């Protein structure tokens, strides 16, 4: 495959300090984009930007605060001139079931997983409209497609709602040449699984038709494709990256 874009693209990846976000930021940079690494963890964010190279820069932000997102996107635009690609990746896992759910836990998970993507999108859209080109790719989850195996209620709801956001924005922004798509990963090998025993991981892998956990790069490569010129006619779609764990 040739370069992903005919011209230089500026990409913002939220929660890019580690895991799927870091892998996505690396893959976008390898494909030729200049990447803004957004994270609340300064140490992880700075080291990620250094590792990525290619002009990548770290921007500190609390994605749970819409006002802070607005401030941060303005900083990115001041530094790089615009935003062409937004990857809504930031997210926290929650396993709390409905019986144990508190209002605080609901608001925390919905804030970081869902509200962040709504307001990050709102902040970048004017720049994409001005340029007449844009890509928004949002990381949902298999849990948003089928209710979740072990994930809690707020997590599954937030991830399903991101698919609603994707469909709504895709319809609203198509006339502006902005495409909006989602990626729904199944279990993917990030630090999330560090606490799992060897036996727990083996059982999980055994339940996946392709017999392994996903690699962050499997998700990252899908994001790069959806953000590339090659995906110009795809909008409003959800791409499952789950080894066949959920097919439907
Ligand atoms: N790992 C999986 O198995 C899996 C499966 C399906 C979906 N996902 C989704 O993929 C995305 C990335 O997951 P991951 O496993 O790489 O996560 P991770 O926990 O490894 O990384 C998340 C990053 O987001 C940052 N972050 C968290 N809250 C923040 C906030 N309020 N403001 C700014 N930054 C914040 C963290 O500092 C961290 O660097 C999430 O949306 C997750 O729900 C993951």
CATH number of the CATH domain containing 57: 3.40.50.720
Quote the DSSP letter at residue 115.
I
pTM beyond 0.95: the answer is yes
Which residue's CA is minimally distant from atom 40 of ligand 1? 91
Q: What is the pLDDT of residues 168-190, one digit of tens each?
A: 999 999 999 999 999 999 999 99
Q: Which residues lie with the beta carbon below 6 Å from any ligand 1 atom?
A: 15, 17-21, 39-41, 44, 61-64, 89-92, 112, 139, 141, 185, 187-188, 190-192
Residue 2 counted as domain residue? no
Q: What is the mean pLDDT of residues 107-126?
A: 98
Evaluate whether residue 246 is within a structural domain: no
Q: Domain for residue 76, yes or no?
A: yes
Give me the number of domains the chain comprises.
1
Beta bridge partners of 59: 38
Q: Please determine, for residue 242, whether its predicted confidence score (pLDDT) is greater than 80.
A: yes
CA dist., res. 57 & res. 12, Å (int): 10
Question: Is 61 a member of any domain?
Answer: yes
Q: How many CB atoms lie within 10 A of CB 205?
A: 15
Residue nearest to atom 36 of ligand 1 (CA): 15
Domain that holds residue 181: 10-241
CA distance 23 to 3: 18
C-alpha R_g of the chain: 17
Q: Is residue 5 part of a domain?
A: no
Hey, which of 24, 47, 91, 215 would you mutate to test ligand 1's pocket, going by the most ligand atoms within 8 Å of its Cβ?
A: 91
pLDDT of residue 1: 62
Q: Mention every residue, 6+ apart, whose C-beta is less than 8 A from residue 144.
A: 156, 158, 159, 160, 161, 162, 163, 184
């Amino acid at each position: 495959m040739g370069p992903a874009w005919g011209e230089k693209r500026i990409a913002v990846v939220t929660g890019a300090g580690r895991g799927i976000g870091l892998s996505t930021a690396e893959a976008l940079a390898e494909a030729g984009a200049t990447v803004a690494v957004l994270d609340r963890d300064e140490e992880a964010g700075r080291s990620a930007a250094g590792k990525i190279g290619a002009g990548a820069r770290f921007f500190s932000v609390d994605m749970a605060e819409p006002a802070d997102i607005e401030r941060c996107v303005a900083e990115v635009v001041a530094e790089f001139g615009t935003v062409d690609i937004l990857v809504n990746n930031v997210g926290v896992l929650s396993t709390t079931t409905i019986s144990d759910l508190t209002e605080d836990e609901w608001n925390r998970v919905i804030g970081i997983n869902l509200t962040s993507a709504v307001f990050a999108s709102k902040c970048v859209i004017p720049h994409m409209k001005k340029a007449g080109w844009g890509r928004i790719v949002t990381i949902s989850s298999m849990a948003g497609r089928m209710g979740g195996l072990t994930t809690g209620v707020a997590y599954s709801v937030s991830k399903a709602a991101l698919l609603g956001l994707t469909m709504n924005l895709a319809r609203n922004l198509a006339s502006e040449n902005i495409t909006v798509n989602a990626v729904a990963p199944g279990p993917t090998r990030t630090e999330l699984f560090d606490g799992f025993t060897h036996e727990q991981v083996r059982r999980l892998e055994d339940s996946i038709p392709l017999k392994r956990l996903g690699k962050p790069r499997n998700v990252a490569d899908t994001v790069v494709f959806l953000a590339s010129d090659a995906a110009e006619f795809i909008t409003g779609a959800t791409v499952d990256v789950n080894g066949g764990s959920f097919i439907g």
